[in-house]
Amino acid sequence: MRWSKTFIPTLKEVPADAEIPSHKLMLRAGLIRQLMAGAYTYLPLGLRALKKAEAIVREEMDAAGAVEIFMPALTPIELYERTNRLEAFGNVLIKFEVKRGDRRVPMALGPTHEEVVTDLVSRHISSYRQLPLTLYQIQTKFRNEERPRFGVLRTSEFLMKDAYSFSTNLEQLNQAYDAMYKAYCRIFSRCGLEYVPVEAESGPIGGDASHEFMIPAANGEDTILRCESCGYGANVERADTGRKRSSTTTAEADQKPKTELATPNAGSIDAVCKMLKCKPHKMIKTLIFKADGKTVAVLIRGDHEANENKIRRALGATSIELADEATIRAATNAPTGFAGPVGIQCEIIADHDIPLIANAVTGANKADAHFVNVNLGRDYDLAKDESGAWKTFDLRNAAADDPCPKCAGKLGLVHGIEVGHVFKLGTKYTVALDATFLDEKEQRHPIIMGCYGIGVNRIIAGLAETKHDENGMIWPLSVAPYSVILISLNANDAAVTKVADEYYDALQKAGVDVLYDDRDQRPGFKFKDADLIGLPLRVVVGGKGLGEGKVEIKWRTDAEATKVDVTAGVQTTLELLEKRRAEDAAKLP
């Protein structure tokens, strides 16, 4: 493509609306333009990159045995009613009615397609002989983002690859899941992304039933914990802390006398700390939960965050929720905000860090009062195991510097962009939509599902966010809009133009996707633009070089160009590209 014939509106100045690198760069390099908040037009360069990423996703999906289909973006509301997701999606779902004669048909733009595929499968799959099956599509999804942001990273309309596996048993599900997991690793590697698969919260299914693929980036919306030593990674919701039970309690000599202090209207950690001039990590936060109907007090250190999934698992409950005011009063004889372990009228479980708090501050189970200098063993008890040690649990979100659960290392907080998610769904949708199969013994079972998503736009945005320097983008060969930028340094110099034109023809004939900057612009201008759009290989034909019979070739990442004989330039370009492709392929998992 000749630059003069296409549409690449580069920007010298940074648009005022853009804040993060990917947004700034994608605008400046002429990849995208905003139509409204959360909706972007892809310009030729951006579209080409998006299509290349899409092609990689498609190739790997096909190779992993998934089968492509294409479902409508228009979906009937009724399907979401049947799975109870109309309410769950709430405002995220873009809903509307269309008129058909005297009827009004309610529909929604698909935010994801579990309902639609499951409905499809329920109508046509009835035997175990037809399974397993994995279907996928690459399609525009619609979600009304209350607050779109970060350019193309969080929009109301985006390209997503969504795959769904259907299995008769867990073994088949695990095979499908593993195949997708491996395909994802290859996809993100091929796209030149640094990525980290992290364990994600998987709800009641438990186990390692869900992984998110994250691109570590300072501006990522998600927080993950990662062990630098062994590579263990998990999102905040899910991350285990490697903390051990500790039976260490405060030595009797160090235990100060327990005292009740008045704390009028101070029912929060902050308010109590302010009033009593203490620090949150000296406090015991006492949360009252209803676990399958039973009241339980959960003890967490004041500066930590309770993790409901961990609490639910520790209690062996199927569902838990924070207790209502009446339940709290029954257990504590006090309004919300003054609960504590001393004399509480219900079961207590505690986080590992609780026994380590010496002379703790906690609610007195009495309105407007807190105790100071509360100590485990003297003032309250926990259950003990066979060896007589206090039973404690991992009940809170992991934090930076917690020990790694898999090795001797420490966890660190990292921000990440979620670019993919694989999930063992189970039978939620197949039960709701009656997608069943008959097994060998003529028994009917719901089909077991998995779902697997990739945000294709986020692959591009993630690359822009993480692969650039102060001059512009740095594309990997695999996703670059064009592999080569060919620059003629003086369009008015007939000799230069002649050679550049010949190169352009030769490279095109050789099947190279080349962008030919044939514009009548000064050299500096063209170099700056070339760096900005960041195509991998730059070939320069200029009067000065031509005088010595040379052209210049340079990778975007090289500091200096290499001079090559005019006669050898095309061949060298082809060889360099071939070599780079082979190197990239060799790195794949």
Partner RNA sequence: CGGGGUGUAGCUCAGCCUGGCUAGAGCGCCAGCUUUGGGAGCUGGAUGUCGCAGGUUCGAAUCCUGUCACCCCGACCA
> For binding to RNA (CB under 7 A), which residues are involved?
10-17, 19-20, 23, 28, 34, 36-38, 85, 88-89, 92, 111-112, 143, 145-150, 154, 221, 421, 453, 471, 489-490, 492-493, 520-525, 527-532, 540, 542-546, 552, 561
Q: Which is nearer to RNA, 44 or 523 (CB)?
A: 523
Q: What does the alpha-carbon distance between residue 534 and residue 516 come to, in Å, rounded to a whole number?
A: 14
Whole-angstrom CA distances from 327 to 30, 230, 403, 432 are 59, 44, 36, 33
Nearest approach, Cβ of 366 to RNA (angstroms)?
30
Min separation Cβ 423 and RNA, Å: 8
Q: Which amino acid is at 317?
A: A
Amino acid occupying residue 122: S
Q: How far is the CB of 222 from RNA (least distance, A)?
A: 8
Shortest distance in whole angstroms from residue 148 CB to RNA: 6
In which region does residue 368 sit, left (phi positive, over 0), alpha (psi from -120 to 50) or beta (all else)?
A: left
Q: Which is nearer to RNA, 9 or 511 (CB)?
A: 9
3-class secondary structure, 515: strand
Beta-bridged to residue 303, according to DSSP, are none
Nearer to RNA, 349 or 473 (CB): 473
Residue 224 CB, shortest distance to RNA, in Å, is: 13
Are 406 and 242 in contact, with CB atoms under 8 Å apart? yes
Nearest approach in angstroms of CB 541 to RNA is: 7
Between 146 and 381, CB nearer to RNA: 146
Instruction: Please say whether the beta carbons of 415 and 217 come within 8 A.
Output: yes
Please state the closest distance from residue 196 (CB atom) to RNA, in A. Answer: 19
Q: How far is the CB of 85 from RNA (least distance, A)?
A: 6
How near is the Cβ of 122 to RNA at its closest, in Å?
18
Give DSSP secondary structure letters for 292-340.
TTEEEEEEEETTS-B-HHHHHHHHT-S-EEEPPHHHHHHHHSS-TT---
Least gap, CB of 214 to RNA (angstroms): 14
Only one residue has tokens 């030729």, namely: 44
Query: Closer CB to RNA, residue 393 or residue 504?
Result: 504
**504 touches 451 (CB < 8 A):** no
Q: What angle do CA 34, 8, 569 make, to 5 degrees?
A: 145
Helix, strand, coil tally for the chain in percent (to 5) = 30, 30, 40
Closest CB to RNA among residues 14, 408: 14
Measured between alpha carbons, how far is 124 from 69 in angstroms, rounded to an integer?
A: 14
Based on CB atoms, which residue is closest to RNA, 38 or 450? Answer: 38
| Spatial distance between the Cα atoms of 186 and 241, rounded to a whole number of angstroms | 29
Cα separation, 436 vs 128, whole angstroms: 9
| Comparison of 367 and 491: residue with beta carbon closer to RNA | 491
Nearer to RNA, 162 or 240 (CB): 162
Q: Which is nearer to RNA, 256 or 522 (CB)?
A: 522
Q: CA-to-CA distance for 300 and 39, rounded, in angstroms?
A: 43
